[in-house]
Structures are given as structure tokens and as C-alpha cells.
Amino acid sequence: MYYIDSCPRKVYAFDFDINDGTVKNQRACVSFAEGTMDKFGLPDGMTIDNEGKLWVACFSSSRVWRFDPETGKELQEIKFPTTNITSVCFGGPNLDELYVTDSRQNAPNLDQQPLAGSIWKVTGLGVKGRAPNNFKG
């Protein structure tokens, strides 16, 4: 399991015991260092691809980043013409389209960001999302 805590700028990983339903072993799998606010902004929404890598929407940085949760290394960057990127998810018939949302609220220089508040579709990434887990209970 993963959890993003925007203010300390960390993505945490947890172990989940399916037998007793407990969550344990919290650890930071991605940490954004001081002095990197312009590059990474605040981690916000996230999704996981079929290779187990994390795609993190970074608010106030105009970017979505792909990270390896085992090493914390950045693997890929997608830059947008808007500032406040909020969330990401895979979709489409083959789960190979990345949908990205951003916020118009509190966006700086709105006159220079006419597309602020849009939903973006990114294709050609070479990876797919994971099929959803359906609740059976």
C-alpha cells in the first residue's frame, strides 16, 4: 500500500497482511529533498502501473513523475502547460492512457495558463495501468 503525505513531501509504502487486515512497516519510498520544490512541487495524486512503478502528480510543478518505489529514483517526467497538477489514473480500453487532472484554483499567472483546470490524456508511455480490484463481499 502507498500513501502520499503532501506537506512533508513523501510517499510512504506499507506492508499489508491480507490474513488479518493489518497495515505495518511504514517507510518512505519516495522523498523529495529540500531545495527541489520548483522541480517536484507537492506530491498529490498517484497511480501504479503494471510494472509496479508509481506515477505521482506534483502540484505547483507542472509535472507528473514516474518513480521506482524500491529505489525512490525518478524514471520519467511529463511536463504540462499548467501549474497545479492534481491527480493521475490509467484508463482506456487497454489501460494504456494516462489521464491527468489539474486545478485552476490558486494557479499563478492564469492569463498565461488558458488550459488550467483541464483533463489531459497522455498516450505512448509504453506501460499500462493495473486492472482494478473488484470487491467481492
- Decide if 119 contacts 104 (C-beta within 8 A): no
From the candidates 5, 44, 68, 102, give the one annotated as an active-site residue. Answer: 44
Q: Grid coordinates 506534483 are at which residue?
A: 58
Q: How many Å apart are CA 103 and CA 93, to the nearest integer?
A: 26
44 a catalytic residue:
yes
- Decide if 77 contacts 53 (C-beta within 8 A): no
Alpha helix stretches (DSSP H) within 36-125: 37-40
| DSSP E strands, the chain | 2-5, 10-17, 22-31, 42-48, 54-59, 63-67, 74-79, 84-91, 97-103, 119-122
Q: Could you give the residue numbers annotated as active site?
A: 44
